[in-house]
Amino acid sequence: GCRGYPHIGSSEAYHLTVTEPVAVLKADEVWGALRGLETFSQLVHEDDYGSFLVNESEIDDFPRFAHRGILLDTSRHYLPLKSILKNLDAMAFNKFNVLHWHVVDDQSFPYQSIYFPELSDKGAYSYNHIYTPADVRLVIEYARSRGIRVIPEFDTPGHTQSWGKGQKDLLTPCYNGQQPTGSFGPVNPILNTTYDFMTKFFKEISSVFPDAYIHLGGDEVNFDCWKSNPEVKEFMKKQGFGTDYAKLESYYIQKILDIVSSYNKGYMVWQEVFDNKAQLKPDTVVEVWMGNNYAHELSSVTGAGFTAILAAPWYLDYISYGQDWKKYYSVEPLNFPGSEEQKKLVIGGEACLWGEFVDATNLTPRLWPRASAGRNVTNLQDAYERLSNHRCRMLRRGIAAEPVFVGYCAHEARG
Amino acid sequence: MAAGPAPLPLPMLLPLLLPLLLLLPPLLLEPAGAVWPQPQLQRSAPGGGRCPLPPRRFRFAYAAGSAVGPGCAVLEAAFQRYWALLFAAARPTENEPPWETPCTQLLVSVATPGCDGFPSLDSKESYQLSVSEGSMLLSADTVWGALRGLETFSQLVGRDENGMYYINQTEIVDFPRFPHRGLLLDTSRHYLPLRAILETLDVMAYNKFNVFHWHIVDDPSFPYESSTFPELSKQGAFNAVTHTYSASDVRRVLEHARLRGIRVLPEFDTPGHSLSWGPGAPGLLTPCYLGKSPSGTYGPINPILNSTYEFVSSLFKEVSTVFPDFFLHLGGDEVDFTCWKSNPQISAFMKEMGFGEDYKKLESYYIQRLLDIVSSIGKGSIVWQEVFDNGVKVRPDTIIHVWKESSPPYLEELANVTRAGYPALLSAPWYLNRISYGQDWMAAYQVEPLKFEGSPEQKDRVLGGEACMWGEYVDVTNLTPRLWPRAGAVAERLWSNATVRDLQDAYLRLADFRCKLLGRGVQAQPLYTGYCEHEFGGF
């Protein structure tokens, strides 16, 4: 199988034997072969005379976690294609296998929809800040050849300001007393038109993106606007939700989840969807992102039988002075109270580079090599040396990874 | 937009940001005629017209009576640069002649002759720019002022929806608030290729910075190729072939800076911060002791040997001929006494000199002799604040560089330094290497260097300041986005009037300026969410 797409169950295991005169790379699937090729490329080194050498070795390798992702945010700032592709290269050098593409949000809607072209026509920053269907196909195929899954995120009902520009009546009108203020809140959960739209929209998304999963968001829904809207209040009464707007949020999410699963897609959601007790299908993946006591959240999610991925300690957009790679490196995802079965439900994690302060000018140095440090725990001093070497390697390969600390690489970036 | 004084966890951030998000439109069109840093006086007549600029016919020319004319390398080079910056994107099309009278030339008039010298602390950078119907005049005291005016001019030219270049009728009178507006780069913690330094000088000029403080050597590496002591870089550079600055590299930097009206202030920091000097100058550094025997490690420069002062004298003689600026930065910060304390010869010397256990006295003894050497060579000295704090007897015109944020608070230190009669530079709140999440440019912008109790004479002694980009975590991969546009906040604080402090207005102008920088090919990072018409495309 060479024409298919990688998925959560793909085998990435490989066995590499380097002896004279022929080295042998064996893998169950092509995805494992890709990982093995990357490893092989890192074993080859140059001596002082310019000869390329590789030591005799035997390597048996497979990933501890099946979901190893990077989140890129193309709404707060548009990222030109070149920047996305460059980072897919870097991801492959680091054996990351999921691109979590947070493609739209409040600020802009760069995704050019086939069914709803007005979404990007009105919602993108400008005509030059759009991903056409061809662009999207390029990203998916570029990723596939590197064994990287592309999981798109269309985050609703919050984080949707830009959707309202091109889709009238999708967002909830906010009120001041009896008067609409002219501003809008989250997606309007009480209108049939909302669900008609979502049905058609997610039909498109399900066919454009081949991965088995779509990320549906569901985070940080601000209830103020819903609370101000008389029709919404009326609806709450009719449904018997009282004043518990989390119930309204769950009502909405439930319907979206059902829509998406009718297209035979699995879904990933941010943790609020679980926390607010929506009815999730058993194969839902819950993404734990809140920094406060994420270990406890992992216990809860897996305790309820759901699969989890961890992002909370790996918000790489939170920069600080000094060698912060150490704290990413020291994270042990399975350090939470739970049974063996529970721990098996943690399928991996994601390093997130939210885009408020990031675009193509600073993305690569901000992401690398800090994202490389999201690995398993061993000796920190040894890790420093290996990470520094790896950083120099990435420089040689044209990835503008920033320095770990004082020092130099034999081949500096061209700059 | 104002994300709060300290980074908040994401769930708390949103309720604060959301209302502000609704207030701020994404950056679309440039506020017409916005210049960064903001000029002292800028007037556009209300309803005043604008002048179209025809790229193919546009010329810079010298006004009659200008003391500087054709053949002035500084201005000729500037004219070429600015023409390219203005019109590189112009396409040769036949446009309808506009109904307004076009401005086909900018007349430049300089009062004082002199084109081949170097800018100095006393250089006059004032200029006046007058754009009216069909005519534009830039007048300045010196060529350095003309450069500042050309930069302003280049920022005033806009392009409308039809692609026509134009400039609004404007009157500008401008001059810097502080004469010393610097940027520090550290080429020892990480080597910076020449291209990175030259590009930084370009962007400094866009921001009207006028001092490049070159912290060229330090503990980790010695990239400066010395003609008197070639072993210093041979043994002390990260790689003696690929990670050094040759004499011709240094000359390139000096001339590139000169043509932009930027002084190059070299820093050879001693007696601490000098480990990389050791391999190429045996006997220079203090051997540390473990009990009675040398431990094999070294400490600061050895202040008790005559050979030290012979060496330092020769090196600084060379440095003073290579670098034309009147001032040299001698460092003098963060001297760790542990090694000196361990060394028996030094202990003996301490006794001899009657210094007791006060190693600050030994440090001062060294610095004193160094300062005397440097002034006998005919150069002025700038030192980090420890030299003043430790009571070294420095000459009255020694400039004290304040870098510590606390102990004492930097404003208090400025008060102390200026009250004692010394000129001062401020860097403490402008360590741009200290990154943090969010819009930290605002904190840099809100600094007020003169906010301390003191007489007008004291305040006059604050010559300006420097944004510092120390190199522990910085090299060419992340230098430019980390520097710009954040350093722009410092640039405006040092150039513009003290009353220019409104954060909302500054945000709009700085975000617009950042898009201008992108348009000029500078990899300046974003201030906040939004976009520029042409995003960064170079990889």
Determine the pLDDT at residue B8: 37
Residue of A374 and A192 predicted with greater confidence: A192
Q: Count the Cβ atoms, other than its own, within 10 Å of residue B376.
A: 11
Express each pLDDT in A308-347 by its tens digit.
999 999 999 999 999 999 999 989 999 999 999 999 999 9
CA nearest to A220, candidates A287, A267, A152: A287
CA nearest to B494, candidates B445, B461, B441: B445
Q: Where are the beta strands (DSSP E) in A323-399?
A: 346-353
Of the residues B125, B199, B225, B334, which is catalytic? Answer: B334
In degrees and rounded to multiples of 5, residue B428 shows phi and psi of -45, -50
Q: Does A360 touch chain B (CB under 8 A)?
A: yes
Question: Do A139 and A32 fall into the same domain?
Answer: no
CATH, residue A15: 3.30.379.10
CATH, residue A222: 3.20.20.80
User: Quick check: helix, strand or coil at residue B500?
Assistant: coil
Residue A411 domain-assigned (yes or no):
no
Taking the alpha carbons of A346, A101, A374, A269 in that order, is the dihedral positive or negative?
negative
- How many A×B Cβ pairs under 8 Å? 153
Question: Do A330 and A288 fall into the same domain?
Answer: yes
What whole-number distance in Å separates Cα of residue B41 and Cα of residue A401?
43
Question: Do A71 and A173 fall into the same domain?
Answer: yes
User: What proportion of chain A, given as a percentage, has pLDDT over 90?
Assistant: 92
Q: Does A220 touch chain B (CB under 8 A)?
A: yes
Contact B132, B44 (CB under 8 A): no
Residue A412 domain-assigned (yes or no):
no
Q: Please list, in sequence order, all residues whose beta carbon lies within 8 angstroms of the beta carbon of residue B325, skipping any fewer than 6 positions away.
A: B118, B120, B263, B264, B265, B266
Dihedral, A52, A54, A60, A63 alpha carbons, nearest 10: -30
User: Quick check: helix, strand or coil at residue A220?
Assistant: coil
Question: Do A50 and A160 fall into the same domain?
Answer: no
Q: Where are the beta strands (DSSP E) in A177-330?
A: 179-187, 213-217, 266-270, 285-288, 307-310
Determine the pLDDT at residue B160: 87
Contact B453, B415 (CB under 8 A): yes
Residue A312 domain-assigned (yes or no):
yes
Q: Which residues of B touch A289 (CB under 8 A)?
A: 10
User: Quick check: helix, strand or coil at residue B136?
Assistant: strand
Question: Do A83 and A54 fall into the same domain?
Answer: no
Per the structure, the complete domain to which residue A37 belongs is given by 1-62
Question: Do A286 and A325 fall into the same domain?
Answer: yes
Give the least confident one: A72-86, B97-111, B488-502, B516-530.
B97-111
Q: Please list, in sequence order, all residues whose beta carbon lies within 8 angstroms of the beta carbon of residue B407, skipping any fewer than 6 positions away.
A: none
In degrees and rounded to multiples of 5, residue A356 shows phi and psi of -55, -40
pTM (2 d.p.)? 0.93
Determine the pLDDT at residue B33: 75
- For chain A positions 103-162, those within 8 Å of chain B (CB to CB) are 106-108, 125-126, 128-129, 161
Q: Which residues of A touch B481 (CB under 8 A)?
A: 361-362, 365
The count of domains in chain A is 2
| Residue listed under structure tokens 């707007």 | A245
CB contact under 8 A, A402 and B475: yes
Residue of B27 and B52 predicted with greater confidence: B52
What whole-number distance in Å separates Cα of residue A193 and Cα of residue A185?
16
Per the DSSP assignment, residues forming a β-bridge with B61 are B107
Domain boundary, last residue among A40, A62, A84: A62
CB contact under 8 A, B475 and A403: yes
DSSP alpha helices (H): ranges in A94-179? 118-123, 133-144, 163-166
Residue A405 domain-assigned (yes or no):
no
Question: Do A31 and A110 fall into the same domain?
Answer: no
Pair of tokens at residue A374? 């999201």
Residue A413 domain-assigned (yes or no):
no
Residue A415 domain-assigned (yes or no):
no
Q: Which residues of A touch B22 (CB under 8 A)?
A: 183
Taking the alpha carbons of A312, A316, A322, A325 in that order, is the dihedral positive or negative?
positive
Average pLDDT, chain B: 92
Express each pLDDT in B376-395 by its tens digit.
999 999 999 999 999 988 89
Q: Does B486 touch chain A (CB under 8 A)?
A: no
In what helix (H) or strand (E) does residue A173 lie, and over which residues does it extend?
A: strand A171-176
Express each pLDDT in A331-340 by its tens digit.
999 999 999 9
Q: Does B117 touch chain A (CB under 8 A)?
A: no
What whole-number distance in Å separates Cα of residue B326 and Cα of residue B343?
37
What whole-number distance in Å separates Cα of residue A291 and Cα of residue A299?
14
Taking the alpha carbons of A388, A390, A395, A400 in that order, is the dihedral positive or negative?
negative
What whole-number distance in Å separates Cα of residue B468 and Cα of residue B425?
12
Strands B135-140 vs B105-110: parallel, antiparallel or unpaired: parallel
Q: Can you tell me the mean pLDDT for A124-142?
A: 97
Pair of tokens at residue B244? 């050094």
Length, in residues, of chain B: 539
- For chain B positions 418-437, those within 8 Å of chain A (CB to CB) are 433-437
Read off the DSSP letter of residue A107.
S
What whole-number distance in Å separates Cα of residue B128 and Cα of residue B175?
9
User: Quick check: helix, strand or coil at residue B312?
Assistant: helix
Express each pLDDT in B489-534 by its tens digit.
999 999 999 999 999 999 999 999 999 999 999 999 999 999 999 8
Per the DSSP assignment, residues forming a β-bridge with B400 are B383, B424
Pair of tokens at residue A44? 């080859």
pLDDT above 90 (res A163): yes
Question: Do A179 and A206 fall into the same domain?
Answer: yes
User: Chain B residue with minimal CA distance to A85?
Assistant: B539
Q: Can you tell me the mean pLDDT for B263-282?
A: 98
Residue A175 domain-assigned (yes or no):
yes
User: Quick check: helix, strand or coil at residue A23?
Assistant: strand
Question: Do A256 and A345 fall into the same domain?
Answer: yes
Q: Which residues of A touch B535 (CB under 8 A)?
A: 78, 80, 128-129, 359-360
**Can you give the three-state secondary structure of A148-161, one letter per residue?**
CEEEEEEEECCCCC
pLDDT above 80 (res B12): no
Question: Do A203 and A262 fall into the same domain?
Answer: yes
Domain boundary, last residue among A9, A27, A62: A62
Domain boundary, last residue among A62, A79, A100: A62
What whole-number distance in Å separates Cα of residue B326 and Cα of residue B399?
12
Rg (CA), chain B: 25
Determine the pLDDT at residue B45: 78
Question: Do A36 and A97 fall into the same domain?
Answer: no
Q: Does A407 touch chain B (CB under 8 A)?
A: yes
Taking the alpha carbons of A373, A376, A381, A385 in that order, is the dihedral positive or negative?
negative
Length, in residues, of chain A: 415
- For chain A positions 13-42, those within 8 Å of chain B (CB to CB) are none
Pair of tokens at residue A113? 């929809």
CB contact under 8 A, A361 and B9: no
Question: Do A338 and A364 fall into the same domain?
Answer: yes
Per the DSSP assignment, residues forming a β-bridge with B382 are B329, B399
pLDDT above 90 (res B118): yes
Residue A325 domain-assigned (yes or no):
yes
Pair of tokens at residue B135? 């005519």
3-state class percentages of chain B: helix first, strand second, coil last, to nearest 5: 35, 20, 45
User: Quick check: helix, strand or coil at residue B78?
Assistant: helix
Q: Does B193 touch chain A (CB under 8 A)?
A: yes
